[in-house]
Amino acid sequence: MKIFSSIAKYFSLVKFSHTVFALPFAFIGFFLGSDEIYNNFDIKLFLLVFLCMVLARSSAMAFNRYLDRSFDKKNPRTAIREIPSGKISPTTALVFTIVSATAFIVTTYFINLLCFFLSPVALLVIMGYSYTKRFTPLCHLVLGLGLALAPIGAYIAVTAHFAVVPVLYSFAVLFWVSGFDIIYALQDIEFDKSQNLKSIPVVIGIKNSLILSGLFHFVTAAIIIYNGIFLNFGMFYWIGSLIYILLLIYQHLIVKPSDLSRINLAFVTLNGFASISFGVFVIAEIISKWLI
């Protein structure tokens, strides 16, 4: 039972459940790549991509928790996290980060050389995010960029080259994640001000932040629609797109300048379900083409 308790602590440290944000888009990139190479689905490669996603995100989240441990301890909302509460020591979290990052790089070697050579760049982006809130309010966009690497990386894993199609989905992820991270940051606006931490809500306030987040999500929706037209997708794609866009709209209806009580519902539940449902329908659309 002790080992399961330890595993649970590390799952909580890296917020493993939040993997659902980028993972479906990585799978979309994977299936788009598989579609390009004559409908060839490689289960071994698929599992390697999945492992890379988990390892990369785990290293980034653990590093973020390690780097922010002093801020987390001061913030009542985050003081219960694993490091400030003493459940996991800072040294252990740092070791976990190094092991996860190393395992990520090693795993990419067994995919292809391009993925291997690009793996340090990916780690630089996703781990570098943790520093950005100290000097720029554009930290939300850096987080979005980190998750936006998912569809590109998965596509390269299959095809070993770049292409426009996965980049289009990466732009959708960039604006989607940046938008909902702005909403999430509204919870800590006063704390961030007291600690001289940078964020868009600190700079432009709650009302303007929600407007900007809405604009980012409008861009996301526009890219999703454009992608469907550009790739000549059919019914499954448009059902998934409709669900995704409606959930984006709904989260902006339930989070208001005068009522931030449902931020967690918007951040975790709605965005998680939006990503999963969109991924399922897009992949179903791609597979349906294989069966024709």
- Give the model confidence (pLDDT) of 107-126 as tens digits: 999 999 999 999 999 999 99
Structure tokens at 234: 């059919």
CB crowding 178-210: b at 16 or more within 10 Å, else e:
bbbbbbbbbbbbebbeeeebbbbbbeeebeebb
Rounded CA-CA distance 161/175 in Å is 24
Instruction: Look up residue 279 and give its amino acid.
Output: G
Predicted local confidence at residue 63, as pLDDT = 95
CATH code, 2-290 = 1.10.357.140
232, HSE (Cβ side, Cα atoms, 13 Å): 1
Q: How confident is the model at residue 194 (pLDDT cuts 50, 70, 90)?
A: very high
Rounded CA-CA distance 103/51 in Å is 9
Give pTM, 2 decimals: 0.93
Do 168 and 226 contact (CB within 8 A), yes or no?
Answer: yes
Rounded CA-CA distance 220/91 in Å is 39
Domains of the chain by residue range:
2-290
Rounded CA-CA distance 137/227 in Å is 29
57-71, 217-231, 238-252, 266-280: segment of lowest average pLDDT:
266-280
DSSP string, 77-136: TTTTSTTTTTSS-HHHHHHHHHHHHHHHHHHHHTT-HHHHHHHHHHHHHHHHHHHHTTT-
Q: Which one, of 190, 189, 241, 183, lies nearest residue 213 by Cα?
A: 183
- Give the model confidence (pLDDT) of 131-185 as tens digits: 999 999 999 999 999 999 999 999 999 999 999 989 999 999 999 999 999 999 9
Predicted local confidence at residue 14, as pLDDT = 65
